[in-house]
Amino acid sequence: MRNIFSLLLLALTFVFVKCSSVPLSDRSQLALINNDKIFPMSYEQYEQVKKESKIITGTEDARTVKRVGTRIQRAVEQYFADQGQSSYLNDYQWEFNLIDNDSTVNAWCMPGGKVAFYTGIMPICQDELGVAVVMGHEIAHAIANHGRERISQQYAAQFGLSAVSIILTGGSGGPSIPTEIIMQGAGAATSLGILAFSRKHESEADKLGLYFMAMAGYNPEEAPKFWERMAANSGGEAPPEFVSTHPSHDTRIADLKANMPKAMEYYRKSQ
Ligand SMILES: [Zn+2]
């Protein structure tokens, strides 16, 4: 009986203490590990990607990626400041780079705000507005902390409740977080062979991404048009971030349209 009681208590603690709620979304998520454990590893990994890739600088496309990223970042920071929640973004170190790789139709964001676009996605973006659709979506993954959530889920699945209880009670001796779990949580696809996000995460990133681009003054009505172009292009190799795990095309367009009125409110406020 006592064991059952403590297990119940543990379960309650598990639910109430180690969850966090996703901003602008009515969803609570598992958050077993703090950002200060995950972000430094994410930043290290991003530096590694930069070393192994050709980062483009000085072109119009490279400038557009940085300009759009910075503009949406600032709009998001303003939104959190208006909510009195600036501290939520304390550990984020935003960076926006364009990688030279025409055959990769993809973009991603590592935990803490490290974004990469591949040149292969630029023709589908077409212009600054199209870049804003993708950028909003990527920044949304970082703000919603999907990487940390996935790391937490994998940690709990791999080590079970006993390891979680060690973390919760502050005891020592629990297994440390294996590097590969952090790596997978980072969500960087392609070159690293890392798993893509779940459909739930993709749908949430679509919704928040729509809001974030709108807050930055980009017309969110471009989003369904961008995804139409992406769907038309996906006949060949399926890019992990944008096709294989994403909601089906029709679901995605329907969801975007359902979220459009709220996004247009943010857009009008930004004008
Ligand atoms: Zn995504």
Q: Where are the domains of the chain?
A: 35-147+184-270
Per DSSP, the residues of 161-202 read: HHHHHHHHHT-S-PPPPPHHHHHHHHT--GGG-PPPPPHHHH
Q: Which residue has the tokens 């779990």?
A: 181
Distance between Cα 47 and ligand 1 center (Å): 21
Distance, in Å, from the CA atom of 61 to the CA atom of 56, rounded to the nearest integer, reads: 9
Given a contact cutoff of 8 angstroms between Cβ atoms, the answer to whether 191 and 59 are in contact is no
pLDDT value at position 264? 98
3-state helix, strand, coil in the chain (%, to 5): 65, 10, 25
pLDDT tens digits, residue range 37-88? Answer: 888 888 988 998 899 999 999 999 999 999 999 999 999 999 999 999 999 9
Distance between Cα 196 and ligand 1 center (Å): 8
For the entire predicted model, the pTM comes to: 0.83
Type of residue found at 86: S
Distance between Cα 248 and ligand 1 center (Å): 13
Given a contact cutoff of 8 angstroms between Cβ atoms, the answer to whether 174 and 167 are in contact is yes
Distance between Cα 208 and ligand 1 center (Å): 11
What is the Cα 149 distance to its own chain's centre? 10
pLDDT tens digits, residue range 221-242? Answer: 999 999 888 888 765 454 545 5
Q: Where are the beta strands (DSSP E) in the chain?
A: 19-21, 28-30, 55-56, 95-99, 107-110, 114-118
Distance between Cα 3 and ligand 1 center (Å): 42
